[in-house]
Amino acid sequence: MTIHYVDTLADITEAQLAGLCGSWDLAPSTSVLLRLLAQAPARVLAVEEGTGAVVGFLGVVPAPRGYMPLTDVLPAYQDLGVAAEMRRRVLTSLAPGQARYPRAHRAIA
């Protein structure tokens, strides 16, 4: 299982997002999720190389200081450092002080 990380949605389809947000109370459809990620000023997606499936995502919500509540990792990929790597990549892409990541937040799937 090899994962690569992308910050663009250029080659991402709704089908690749299937299964994400499955445990959310108000889970968006894959089309809405794709739109939310497109509107995020910064995002990163974890993609399994063998299947092309998106196994996790993290998106920044525009605010005075960006907030990262758009986070999910599929259950089979949790506890492998996927969320931590996505967070690291997003934070290094933003200017200092441009994003907040709540301490109590963890990837939900």
Q: Would you call 9 exposed, middle or buried from its count of C-beta atoms within 10 A (0-12, 13-18, 19+)? A: middle
Q: What is the pTM of this model?
A: 0.81
Residue with tokens 């509107």: 39
pLDDT tens per residue, the chain (109 residues)? 799 999 999 999 999 999 999 888 888 999 999 999 998 888 999 999 999 999 999 988 766 665 667 889 999 999 999 999 998 898 887 765 555 554 434 444 3
Angle subtended at Cα 20 by Cα 14 and Cα 23, rounded to the nearest 5 degrees:
145
Q: Decide the pairing of beta strands 99-100 and 66-73.
A: parallel
The domains found in the chain, sorted by start residue, are 3-100 (3.40.630.30)
CB 3 within 8 A of CB 57: no
